A and B are shown apart, each in its own frame.
Chain A
Amino acid sequence: MERGKCKRLFTSLAMGLGMVLLANLSFAQEATTPAPAAPAAATPTAPAPKLPPYFTATSPDPKGPALWPDPIGANSGVWATPAGDGKGDVPDQLKLGDLYDRIAHNLYSINFVWALVTGFLVMFMQAGFMFVETGLCRAKNAAHTAAMNFLIYPLGCLGFWVYGFAIGWGNWWNGPTPPGWYASLGPGLSVLNGGWGLGALTDAAGAVTGAFKYGIIGTTGWFLNGAVNDAGVMVLFFFMMVFMDTTATIPTGAMAERWSWKNFVLYGCWIALPYCIYANWVWGGGWLAQGGINWGLGHGAVDFAGSGVVHGMGGLIALAGAIVLGPRIGKYDSHGRKQALPGHNVPMVVLGTFILAFGWFGFNPGSTLAGTDLRISFVVVNTLLASATGAVGAHLVLSWKGLKPDPTMMCNGMLAGLVAITAPCAFVNPMGAVIIGLVAGILVVYSVFFWETRGVDDPVGAISVHGVNGLWGVLSVGIFATGEYGAGWNGVVREGMVKLYGSDGVRGLLYGDFSQFFMQVIDCAVLIVFGFVMAYVWFKISDLITPIRVSKETELEGLDGPEMGTLGYPDFQLHQGSKLVE
């Protein structure tokens, strides 16, 4: 995701402090040229610059023990208290190099705290999903729906720990271009350097670097084993894990009220596979991120916080699941006309929507993985505005159609605006965010009606909110990105663009880069095909292992008793609202 910024971070570090400390080095200039000219590959003719080890992520003494993985972060600059630690913390004894070490460590610390705290907010979005999905289902299925939203969190987490992280981020340091110039979380990420792909790349000496022309998956960090026993890797793992659980919990809404528990548990163990493969392609430096380098298409696939990677993928899995399951009993009458099966708790839906909107203030700005990246303020404002216009957009459509302002649809509208702004949030200006959110709010209403008339029963609107608007969010990057932000994104710096605009940020077609839009279209197409096919095949196969749908009797009675053994509302006699038609 936010890789370009790291290059900028290092650039500004080098330009600021380096002006003094490294005045005669060419590092700052090198950072603006395409990646092959990375500092580690400096030509032998120039005198080797004496860079701190955390700068190049290499040990100063090749024969000594490797500095990373570093479980306590001691090799990323110097942590020191004013009390003095024998390293020269008496102010007038500090040399410039000492100061630099402390500043670098501070920078990593700010980024650690930022990524962790925003990750906590994202984790809390699980509660939002639980409220929205449970509120939109009927009371007789409340415990089952809530339990799915609950157990997907530990199941997804363990899957991510066992194999997901390794597939998605195992070759992070080498993609899209080696060596990892994205190091806002410190040089410890250099241990994520094993993967598999097409076209292994070699360095100037002919040695294999671990990078690929077309990266496909990573292979480092299964079970978070000792090879990745690093403080920075843990931050990345945590942040990416809570993101994945967002994807994992989206299909539980679209498939609610009829999905058998056993089949759901299998799904919970599988979800990390499609998610992390596709995440590798876009965020892990894989072949879609490399579309800019390889094919000259903008900056490659750009998806800042995951409209496509997180929400689009979740929505497409939800679509496949809803199709394989079929509609709930009573959703369509004998003539095929759609019937309403009203959710049982609207205030719960609204509360969940607010929790999600709150969590999104971790989701989007946290995706810088750097509190030192001041673009976070724009990300927050854009997220806010798109959520507002999303809700208003849904209200407007309902009014135009002569309908009352259904609270559940307005909630869907706000979430749609949030989903859509997730990919472009760092690259667009507030006006762009307003338009993106408004379109999303309008789109979600038509989309909900569209899928219903097509016989796809989605009790909560997950396909429309996350799938349709996730794709819209990915496309909107290619339309509204202003070019102000994202210089060097995915390792792409085009001389022509720099001459034309002063810098080569991520730029949509309204601002002069059609190729970026084209790349976003390719990204969407790949996502649709890969996400839908993977999920459809999985649900069909898992149906053979244990049936995906509960029995008719169970569904009519409500899943709480037969499936969970616990009623959501044992003290109340529930009104069996739906007519028993088929």
Chain B
Amino acid sequence: MKQIEAVIKPFKLDEVKEALTKVGIQGMTITEVKGFGRQKGHTELYRGAEYSVDFLPKVKIQILVPDEKASQVVDTILQTARTGKIGDGKIFVTPVEEVVRIRTGEKGADAI
């Protein structure tokens, strides 16, 4: 099993979610996060004074998939979350040791 974490632009969330649903993903967890990468922050003016916004709002998606499905999911996110402009985000894929469904106690791939 793999955990796929994708940090994407917030306005892309719906598009990504729908595309993932189409390729058979049945669940995901999202978190509203802030951060910066190469995009850095940007400056704004408030009452004539400049200020920099260092951490930009992003959405982080967490998905658990069987190993064989990981590359398809990564490709789907890559295609839908991409704008081509700086700040599109990143995808992390990590192995997962165990998954347990709390309600039934199922383990492993059955619990996904």
Which residues of A come within 8 Å of B, CB atoms?
A: 338-343, 403-404, 406, 408-409, 445, 448-449, 452, 461
Contacts and interface: CB of A to CB of B under 8 A. Distances in A.
Contacts of A408: 46-47
Contacts of A341: 46, 51
- Give 5 nearest A-B pairs by CB, closest first: A340-B51, A340-B46, A340-B49, A342-B46, A338-B49
Contacts of B48: 403, 406, 409, 445, 448-449, 452
A535 B44 CA distance: 35
26 contacts: A339-B49, A340-B44, A340-B46, A340-B49, A340-B50, A341-B46, A341-B51, A342-B44, A342-B46, A342-B51, A343-B46, A403-B48, A404-B45, A406-B46, A406-B47, A406-B48, A408-B47, A409-B47, A409-B48, A448-B47, A448-B48, A449-B48, A452-B47, A452-B48, A452-B49, A461-B47
User: Interface residues of A: mostly helix, strand, loop or mixed?
Assistant: loop
A285 to B, nearest CB: 41
B45 A406 contact: yes
B9 to A, nearest CB: 19
Contacts of A339: 49-51
Interface of B: 44-51
B82 to A, nearest CB: 28
- Residue among B45, B46, B48, B50 with the highest chain A CB neighbour number at 10 A: B48
Nearest to B45: A403
A93 B47 CA distance: 70
A175 B68 CA distance: 94
B105 to A, nearest CB: 34
B44 to A, nearest CB: 7
Contacts of A448: 47-48
A449 B49 CA distance: 9
Contacts of B49: 338-340, 452
A403 B45 CA distance: 8
A338 B48 CA distance: 9
Contacts of A461: 47
A341 B48 CA distance: 11
A568 B39 CA distance: 33
A343 B44 CA distance: 13
Contacts of A342: 44, 46, 51
Given A339-B50, A409-B48, A448-B47, 5 more contacts: A340-B51, A341-B46, A403-B45, A408-B47, A452-B49
